[in-house]
Structure 1
């Protein structure tokens, strides 16, 4: 099976997702090792998600990371809907 290349918009959305997750981890004062272990993923996978190198991670992986850092999933949806201006939409 051949994977369709991602669009620029999809890659940018992945970068925004990673930024929100990285900021939440920093705000929670949690290390990559702690969050990865709690989420049940490798540190390298977490690093790739946070840097946008995995722009379309599995939903359950994202949910596990968000839970590990205390980030509501609604905040992630808002970030995904945000324009590329760098402004993150506030969750309602």
Structure 2
């Protein structure tokens, strides 16, 4: 669906649901999720419908995902880091004590 128009300089590796994905320093996690099939980041708590990054500026909250074990991270506002672990969020986030 989405792809880079250029080869990233100094590419780093992040892991989306355990699968390695190439990313460019300075890009958002949401941009990586839009390139990594399947193209969604979370499911809704009630109907489990799939949602994907939409506004790309932190207003709509459709881009929530689990990042390095932290649930409900707005991926459009979070920049990638080498070795980052990203998981698609299913339903309600779980709160651990």
Same fold (TM over 0.5): no
| TM-score after normalising by structure 1 | 0.26
Name the structure with the higher strand share: 2
Task: Give the TM-score taking structure 2 as reference length.
Answer: 0.26
